[in-house]
Structure 1
Amino acid sequence: QLAQLKGHQEQVYNASFSPDGKNIVTASFDKTARVWDSTTGKQLVQLKGHQDWVINASFSPDGKQIVTASADKTARVWDSTTG
Structure 2
Amino acid sequence: MSQTEIYEKLTDVFRDVFDDEDLTPTAEMTADDVEEWDSLSHIRLMLSVEKAFGVRFSTVELGGLKSVGDLAGLVESKLNGAG
TM range (shorter): under 0.3
Query: Relative contact order: is structure 1 or structure 2 higher (C-alpha 8 Å, sep ≥ 6)?
Result: 2
Decide which structure has greater helix share: 2
Decide which structure has greater strand share: 1
